[in-house]
Structure 1
Amino acid sequence: MVAPPSLLVFDWDGTLMDSTAHITRSIQRACADLGLPVPERERASHVIGLGLRDAMRVACPGLAESDYGGMVEAYKRNYLAGEETVELFPGVREALQAYRQAGYFLAVATGKGRPGLDRALEASGLAGLFDATRTVNECASKPDPEMLDQLTDYFGVERGASLMVGDTTHDLLMAKNARVPGCGLAQGAHPRQQLEAVAPLAVFDDFAGFDTWLTSLPR
């Protein structure tokens, strides 16, 4: 039986928020706006979870370094144009409320920038549920372990008593680099096969599957 963690750290996009398709389209439309080759869906979605500049290096490998700023701004315009249509995955709000009542520490570690995460927390009504959050404005981009290093230090929780939950290999590799157990959700940007290749603690089809597993652990 797996021991229950004390600290739950969640990625945001594709993990709590059903935003993968919108982010992918926004990357593709930004490329089209700038007259750049439009990446196929798989390449565009693979970069989700990285900081924006790192994401553009992968999605647009032929782009000059000096043009990354323009690409990031084009992406932001396209994302903001449809941001209000993005919603939480079913059951996320209720599950997070239950985790908090059960005594878990709750945190977010995301490739979003601070302004984007703060907007999302406000719009979703989840801001009050999290004890701490980290973004690429405060830390290095995934899979660097800095976000998890800071969060485990902040809460004073042993790494083995923490759990990273995310939908990408970037999330799971960050967890591995930080020596923190990780769980993958095959509902977002990266398929199950890629998540399983990182050898996390477990991979679930969706957030509901993770919730069923977590709530079955004795506390």
Structure 2
Amino acid sequence: MARKSFDLIVFDWDGTLMDSTATIVRCIQSAAKDLGLPIPDRKVASHVIGLGLSEAIRMAMPGLESHVYPRVVERYRHHYLAQDEDLILFVGVREMLADLSQQGYFLAVATGKSRVGLNRALHSSNLLSVFDATRCADETFSKPHPAMLHELTRELGQDLKRTVMIGDTTHDLQMAINAGAAAIAVDYGAHPASELIALHPIFTASSVIALHTWLNDNA
């Protein structure tokens, strides 16, 4: 049976599939505190989630001398690695992915995480075999550059016009716009619903359950 709209569904990771937003914010703030630097507030630290780590730190803490940023990144990784294996998927994620896979959709991840970080997360959540392809920020251009979606569609032989990007940040939605793909927002992650809606996603989900239902009915 022909699909309604999409063949390839691409997910962001942090704040979309994994409940990690608050942890990432705390780790950014802890890294700044360790080095005696001004501590970004929650709004600022949340806004950079989804970008590659080095870019995110520079955006969250602008104006530092260039040699300081690698030290901030090191401290962030120290804090994050101490707890990333304890992070959990949002309720309903595992069931949604299993259902979509069974229906024959191509599934992919486009994330600001590093390859090492994503592999750790996929392993700890037992999702290594679920996705057909993945792209990380240290392998190509960071969001909102469209490269991740261009590369994923080429690898899987898919059409961008039948691809949808799902994410919790404006970086995700803008990447989809830049690539010519559709975009779905989830408003339970890092960026506020008002900022997401301003980019006109085709749907905004308030929970994984709502997202799963919409995909079953419309994708």
**TM, length-normalised to structure 1:** 0.96
Instruction: Give the Cα–Cα distance (whole angstroms) in 2 for the partners of residues 158 and 35 of structure 1.
Output: 48
**Aligned position for 2:192:** 191
Q: Which residue of structure 2 lines up, in the alignment, with residue 128 of structure 1?
A: 129
User: 1:86 offset after TM fit, Å?
Assistant: 0.9
Q: What does the per-residue CA deviation read over 1:62-111, in whole Å, with 9 as the maximum and x for residues that have no partner? A: 21222211111110001112213210000101110111110000000000
TM alignment of 1:1-219, pairs within 5 A:
3-217=4-218
Q: How far off its partner does 1:152 sit? A: 1.0
CA shift, 1:48, in A, is 0.3
Per the TM alignment, residue 154 of structure 1 is displaced from its structure 2 partner at its CA by: 1.2
Q: State the Cα distance separating 1:131 from its structure 2 match.
A: 0.5
Contact 1:160 1:179 in 2 (8 A): yes
Q: Distance in 2 between matches of 1:206 and 1:150?
A: 28
Report which stretch shifted further, 14-23 or 80-89.
Answer: 80-89
Q: Distance in 2 between matches of 1:194 and 1:81?
A: 31
Residue 4 of structure 1: how far off its partner (Å): 2.7
Aligned pair count reads 217
Q: Name stretches of at least 5 consecutive residues in structure 1 with no aligned partner.
A: none
- C-alpha distance in structure 1 between counterparts of 2:156 and 2:162, whole Å: 11
Quick one: which amino acid aligns to residue 168 of structure 2?
D
Conservation of the 8 A alpha-carbon contact between 2:186 and 2:205: yes
The RMSD of aligned alpha carbons is 1.2
TM-score normalised by structure 2 residue count: 0.96
**Segments of 4+ moved more than 3 angstroms:** none
Offset of residue 3 of structure 1: 3.0
